[in-house]
Amino acid sequence: MTNHADSEAPDPARQYQLRVSEEEESERLDLYLQKQLPGLSRSRLQGLIYEGEVTVDNRQRRPSYRVRAGDEIAVAIPELRPLTATPETSPLDVVFEDNDLLVVDKPAGMTVHPAPGSPAGTLVNALLHHCQDLSGINGVLRPGIVHRLDRNTTGLLVVAKNDSAHRGLASQLERRSMTRHYRAIVWGRLPERGSVDAPIDRSSRDRKRMAVAQNGRHAVTHFEQLSDFGFVSDCRLRLETGRTHQIRVHMQHRGNPVFGDPMYGGRNRVDAVDPQQRSRARRLLEGLTRQALHAAVLGFVHPRSGKSLCFESDLPEDLRRLHAELSAG
């Protein structure tokens, strides 16, 4: 007989002991837990699994593990810490805002939430100054954050002001119904259309990096070539899944790293360019201090009104300049 947890949101400092019934056998671990702990989103539960806060018969398992009848599952939900991020009057480009959410256009150089090495100057610090009501689902260091962009990736992301909106938006991410299109300049030539379907996990060599790994998390990126500039291509990319550094890892994996990307091979390709183009490639690379990646389109269904919303962001100045120089060449 299953030991079901209360239907209310779990106490943030509690531990749960669950036993899988015969009727529930073969369910994915993350989906099984979502049914037992309905106050937590699937993404939050997956995070707890990867952080080692969930064990099955005293062993760590992956979210995709198929539970078996009689499995003893322990779930520890860490106690919430006091809010340490402080409000800051950093510039904040708000594209849309209502009582439930806001959409912001993040600049390059801004980290989304406080972390070691980036305790201040983050999007969260700016959000805390802009509004007092942010969802607490993602914890005290990431209030309101539904999804993230890398520090030097520009563009659109949505922030939840309350837990109900957060759950609705997170659910769309999990169902892959949220639209996220990116623009990028990548090294080399691309086919007209294509996809990269390759699992992603932490790199075994450098824990700050991600890598394509056989036993990693399922990840799919679709791309479409917009312009062929010879040694680089302009492309549109669509995320089917949302893994950390997904586009950057996938494009490096297929041999087309994002132009200017210091972490995933985007700054060391000049020697592979046709000798007649090398000086131009080097000059363009020196004029760009980050990866040429921009979150250009964001679409979702408003979690309260049910209205479909879609937002577009123009390329920032540095990428507009890069496009102009490539086109002129």
Which residues are the active-site residues? 150
Q: Residue 213, Cβ neighbours under 10 Å: how many? A: 15
The backbone torsions φ and ψ at residue 94, rounded to the nearest 5 degrees and listed phi first, read -90, 120
**C-alpha gyration radius of the chain:** 21
Burial class (CB in 10 A: 0-12, 13-18, 19+), 77: buried
β-sheet bridge partners, residue 220: 197
Question: In 10 A of CB 109, how many CB atoms?
Answer: 11
Exposure class string for 224-252: b at 16+ Cβ within 10 A, else e: ebeeebebbbbbbbbbeeebebbbbbbbb
Tokens 């989103």 appear where? 41
Furthest CA-CA distance within the chain: 72
Amino acid occupying residue 188: G
For the chain, count helices (H), then strands (E): 7, 14
Secondary structure E strands in 40-168? 54-56, 72-76, 94-97, 101-106, 154-160
Q: Looking at the chain, how many residues does it have?
A: 329
Q: Under DSSP, is residue 226 helix (H, G, I), strand (E, B) or coil?
A: strand
- Distance of alpha carbon 129 from its chain centroid, rounded? 23
Q: What angle do CA 142, 49, 169 make, to 5 degrees?
A: 45
Is there a contact between 153 and 293 (Cβ–Cβ < 8 Å)? yes
